[in-house]
Amino acid sequence: MRRVLILIKGLGRGGAEQLLSSAAPYLDTSRFEYQVAYLLPWKNALVPSIEAAGIEVNCLGSGHGVRWVERLRTLIRSESFDVIHVHSPYAAIGARLVTPRGRTRFVYTEHNVWSRYHTATYWGNAMTYPRNDHVFAVSESVRRSIRYPTPLRYRRMPPTETLYHGLDPAQVATWTGLDGLRGELGLPAGTPLVVNVANFKPHKGHFELVQAAADVRREIPDVRFVLVGVGPLEAAVREEAARLGVTDSMIFAGFRNDVPRVVSSCDVFTLASRYEGLSIALMEAMALGRPVVVTSAGGLPEIVSDGVEGLVVPPGDVHELARGLITVLRDQPLRERLGHAAHLRASGFDIRKTVARVEQVYEELTA
């Protein structure tokens, strides 16, 4: 039986981490013996769901610098893995350096465009990249961004393919009949509701979203925006809402365990991202049949065709974002048409297909 180590920086509630959690129940443990390892001990929210699938999970980090690298070296030497599959450039750099060449194959999933990495991460990733035996990119936008800097163009580029990840159909099936958010928030039944699910980080475009909300409110005074997420920019985004006088239209919902319920209650789901790999929150909203208004950042327009499943606007264009939201909020037949198409589109993104392709590559590399 082939032994596979899946390595990731953390197991908090982020997009890449959620993909790993969704994949866990479908891993073929009759052919592969899996272990999962992560580095950041305080990012462990998804550990129980992975362990529930019968997968052993180990934390290599202790919060003290790069000691995890030595722990990883020890783990690799003791376990004799056939494949190491990494989902984070930071973790991948260390793993490539300590993994012996020869028997152990190296698979890497790229979740972000290269131009967005910190300079040290970018160069460390690029310099060790030839160690990969196979690379999956989560979108075409991400795949196109993978290019060595000029001094390293002579180096081997490993085989790379775009592999759209997906949702767990068993989880999606439990999302029916979800409602009640307006009542919980004390809002009248017909209140126009826009939901955004994204942690408060620079690339998620919250400032543009708040600015667009000011435009939307001038046209639709009773609109409410529900922002689900946490992060370092939340306080600054709240200040921007206060500066624009839209605080009473913004609901900062923080972390929620019931995101599908929140999203299913909205009239429109939106993302104002400046850049993006592939948004799982967007896929979930579409699976729930919600019409969407998103920017054309990264892989988003690969999921949403403008005018079909939703409206697509340029990143950073506050007025176009506002106009898109107003258009969809005012037109119920349009919302229904977009929502139906979004649901059909999302049904094609199935995590079982992703797992099947990944395990096929494992077999090919270790044959």
The predicted-structure confidence for 36-50, as pLDDT tens digits, reads as follows 999 999 999 999 999
How high is the pLDDT of residue 67?
Answer: 86
- pLDDT band at residue 63 under the 50/70/90 scheme: low
pLDDT in tens, 114-150: 988 899 999 999 999 999 999 999 999 999 999 999 9
Architecture of domain 2-166+350-366: 3-Layer(aba) Sandwich (3.40)
pLDDT in tens, 237-266: 999 999 999 999 999 999 888 888 899 999
Architecture of domain 171-346: 3-Layer(aba) Sandwich (3.40)
- pLDDT band at residue 305 under the 50/70/90 scheme: very high
How high is the pLDDT of residue 301?
Answer: 96
How high is the pLDDT of residue 178?
Answer: 63
pLDDT in tens, 339-365: 999 999 999 999 999 999 999 999 999
How high is the pLDDT of residue 209?
Answer: 98
Residue 111 pLDDT > 80, yes or no?
yes
Task: Output the DSSP codes for 214-238.
Answer: HHHHHHSTT-EEEEE---TTHHHHH
- pLDDT band at residue 182 under the 50/70/90 scheme: confident
Cβ count within 10 A of residue 74: 12
How high is the pLDDT of residue 294?
Answer: 98
Residue 284 pLDDT > 80, yes or no?
yes
What is the percent of the chain where pLDDT is above 70?
A: 98
How high is the pLDDT of residue 100?
Answer: 84
How high is the pLDDT of residue 18?
Answer: 86
Tell me the C-alpha distance between 314 and 320, whole Å: 7
Residue 302 pLDDT > 70, yes or no?
yes
How high is the pLDDT of residue 12?
Answer: 87
Global pTM exceeds 0.85: yes
Strand, helix or coil at 251? strand
CB 141 within 8 A of CB 113: yes
How high is the pLDDT of residue 16?
Answer: 86
Q: Which H or E element spans position 310?
A: strand 310-313
How high is the pLDDT of residue 177?
Answer: 63
Cβ count within 10 A of residue 69: 18
How high is the pLDDT of residue 39?
Answer: 94
Tell me the C-alpha distance between 47 and 26, whole Å: 16
How high is the pLDDT of residue 187?
Answer: 87
Cβ count within 10 A of residue 179: 10
- pLDDT band at residue 101 under the 50/70/90 scheme: confident
- Which residues of the chain does CATH 3.40.50.2000 include? 2-166+350-366, 171-346
Q: Are strands 56-59 and 32-38 parallel, antiparallel or unpaired?
A: parallel
Residue 64 pLDDT > 80, yes or no?
no
Q: What would the two tokens of residue 179 be? A: 């409602």
SS3 for the chain is: CEEEEEEECCCCCCHHHHHHHHHHHHCCCCCEEEEEEECCCCCCCCHHHHHHCCCEEEECCCCCCCHHHHHHHHHHHHHCCCEEEECCHHHHHHHHHHCCCCCCEEEEEECCCHHHCCHHHHHHHHHHHHHCCEEEECCHHHHHHCCCCHHHCCCCCCCEEECCCCECHHHHHHHCCCCCHHHHHCCCCCCCEEEEECCCCHHHCHHHHHHHHHHHHHHCCCCEEEEECCCCCHHHHHHHHHHHCCHHHEEEEECCCCHHHHHHCCCEEEECCCCCCCCHHHHHHHHCCCCEEEECCCCHHHHCCECCCEEEECCCCHHHHHHHHHHHHHCHHHHHHHHHHHHHHHCCCEHHHHHHHHHHHHHHHHC
